[in-house]
Structure 1
Amino acid sequence: MFSFGKKSVIGAFILFFVIAVVGWAWRQHNSIPYVTGPIQTVITPAEEGVTWVLEHISDVNRIIEISLKNRIEWENLENENADLRKRVVDYDEVAAENARLRRLLDFRAAHKDLQLLAGAVISRDYGTWTNTMIIGIGDNQGVKENMAVITPDGVVGFVCDVFPDSARVQLMTDPRTGMGAVVQRPESRVASVVRGNGNMPTEPQFVNIAKDADILEGDTLVTSGFGSIYPKGLYIGKITSIHMDDSGFVKYAVIAPGVDFSKLEEVFVITGTSAGTSYEKPDVAPKLVPQTQRDKVEGIKGTAAL
């Protein structure tokens, strides 16, 4: 049990008395200013300090809330911008694809005499001595070796290897490739062979032309139709310059192909004609001859027999 002494009782009584007096005086501060005045003088700075602290705490909380809100809005705007950028990219890609496909469809509609099989380019191999690419159609889709490959811009090359669902195309810029060509200009009609140029893959050449032959810069070259690969009249490119051969007996012309091989995405394989004539593998397979520096060997795979 707790025991209270006389001093404890007196101390408690005095404390209670002081609290009672202070409370009474506070309630009667208007009537007893000489008591409440000093108390108010002591309490006022403390009240002001507490008020200042509370106001600044409120300001800090408001700043934090605004900052968090702005951060959330900024992140939302960033996400919306990223989504809009992605949509723009997707739209541009779809628009570009639609434009390419529309052009292919228009080309097919304008060449009903040809049986055309469309295929996507899935890989490329552009080297010094070989220029080939892989397309996403093959034997299961009716592709055969030595079928011509074209686009609306002109000749691409021919199918050199066939797999179940893909095929390798040897481009007209490949140094091993050659095809019969003729100058389209009626006054000329000079015929010879277009070959790939290993020293300058982007500039195939119209070779073995008589030095007095009627060819001019700007002349258009089309396929001559000789041989069993390329039908007649397919656009090849334009002559950009004419040069004498090292032998001095013949000349050759540098060609700017109609096809931009760096941008190929879809191509057509010519599988036959509307009349039913199919471009099948020739009875005697063209001979693949190793490339020399000037490649003066006749009978290269894909070269028309002139």
Structure 2
Amino acid sequence: MKFLKNKLAVVIILLSVTFLSLIGYSVNREKMSFVENGVGVTMNSVQGVFFSGFFKIKSSFKFITNISNVKTENEELRRTNSELQSKVIEYSALIKKNERVSKMFKFSDKNAQYSYIGADINGLCGNSFSDGFTINKGETSGIKKGMVAMTGDGLVGQVNSVGDNWSIVQCLANENIAVAGLVDRTRDNGIVKGYTDENNKSLAQIQRLSLESKIKKGDVIVTSGLGGKYPSGIRIGSVLSVHEDKGAVMKGAIIKPYVDFSKIEEVFIVVPTDAKAGEIKY
């Protein structure tokens, strides 16, 4: 095999020398002879094969050496894409939070006699929000037992336990919570308490309304402010159905709360009138 390779190399060298000699001989002639032309064609074919093979090998070698670079670039692109996706999620969450806070600003502008402390929810006290949840603010932030918790959508409940830097909030969905409520359209006063329907859905109900009350489906229920514990005008929910208790000579209604207790992420604690009234702290 080695002999054949050496022999082929000798033949190629001889052909190359012959071709160069012919070029030198025919450079000053207008036309090549038949022999010169034949040798030229042969040499060009042989050289073409060698040059073509050389460039293919070179290209293949370049591709192989670039594989590691391509792999590195792909990893960087994946990392960049992952970072961008995380930023989009964070940005989206920030926008939603700003929207929720802006609703609170609208409420506080109309109720500047109170100040408001924002707090994040960091855990549940039981199996669901109706059992209560913990927030990351407490006595050191000025929160006290009995203060009202709300969001920009409406009433959440009230604080029933306070630590130095944490508190427990009891939701309106809990049947132990009672709020002085008002039918916004008819101005009828009643008591709003938590209520769970047959499908275990957290709702509320307004009780102790007069039999003459004109309350109807779709009416808006808000806090009345009676007793001074809750600010007036906090939205509670809308009426789903009305019922009569003729034995007790009263009317009542089932309410769908405006706040979805299972989806709240932060609350605002309403602080009674003081020198900092109208301020929202977070």
Q: Same fold (TM over 0.5)?
A: yes
1:162 aligns with 2:162: yes
1:235 aligns with 2:235: yes
SS at match of 2:92: helix
SS at match of 2:202: coil
Counterpart AA for 1:147: M
CA distance in 1, matches of 2:233, 2:217: 19
Q: CA deviation at 1:271?
A: 1.9
SS at match of 1:179: strand
1:75 aligns with 2:75: yes
Q: CA deviation at 1:125?
A: 4.1
CA distance in 2, matches of 1:241, 1:261: 21
Counterpart AA for 1:189: R
Q: Match for residue 171 of structure 2? A: 171
CA distance in 1, matches of 2:276, 2:75: 63
CA distance in 2, matches of 1:160, 1:212: 35
CA distance in 2, matches of 1:190, 1:259: 22
Structure 1 residue runs without a partner (length 5+)? 1-21, 31-46, 278-306
CA distance in 2, matches of 1:275, 1:86: 42
Q: Is the 8 A contact 1:158 1:229 kept in 2?
A: no
For 1:159-178, what per-residue CA distance to the aligned partner results, in whole angstroms no more than 9, with x for missing partners?
11111111111111112111
Q: CA deviation at 1:209?
A: 3.4
Q: Match for residue 192 of structure 2? A: 194
CA distance in 2, matches of 1:276, 1:179: 25
For 1:205-261, what per-residue CA distance to the aligned partner results, in whole angstroms no more than 9, with x for missing partners?
112434443211111112222335213332211112113459685442111212222
Q: Is the 8 A contact 2:100 2:152 kept in 1?
A: no
Counterpart AA for 2:223: T
Q: Match for residue 149 of structure 2? A: 149
Q: CA deviation at 1:181?
A: 1.1
Counterpart AA for 1:196: G
Q: Is the 8 A contact 1:209 1:250 kept in 2?
A: yes
Quick one: structure 1 residues 204 and 87, their matched pair in 2 at CA, closer, same or farther if it must change by over 3 Å? same
CA distance in 1, matches of 2:127, 2:207: 22
Higher relative contact order structure (alpha carbons within 8 Å, sequence separation ≥ 6): 2
Counterpart AA for 2:188: V
Counterpart AA for 1:267: V
Q: CA deviation at 1:193?
A: 1.1
CA distance in 1, matches of 2:222, 2:111: 16
Q: Match for residue 33 of structure 1? A: none
SS at match of 2:222: strand
Q: Is the 8 A contact 2:130 2:172 kept in 1?
A: no
Q: Is the 8 A contact 2:238 2:257 kept in 1?
A: yes
CA distance in 2, matches of 1:128, 1:266: 16
CA distance in 2, matches of 1:230, 1:273: 11
CA distance in 1, matches of 2:104, 2:180: 25
Q: Is the 8 A contact 2:138 2:162 kept in 1?
A: yes
What is the identity percentage for the equivalent residue pairs of Structure 1 and Structure 2? Answer: 27
Q: Is the 8 A contact 1:144 1:159 kept in 2?
A: yes
SS at match of 2:134: strand
Query: After superposition, where does 1:52-67 map in structure 2 within 5 Å?
Result: 57-67=57-67
Q: Match for residue 204 of structure 1? A: 204
For 1:271-292, what per-residue CA distance to the aligned partner results, in whole angstroms no more than 9, with x for missing partners?
2115899xxxxxxxxxxxxxxx
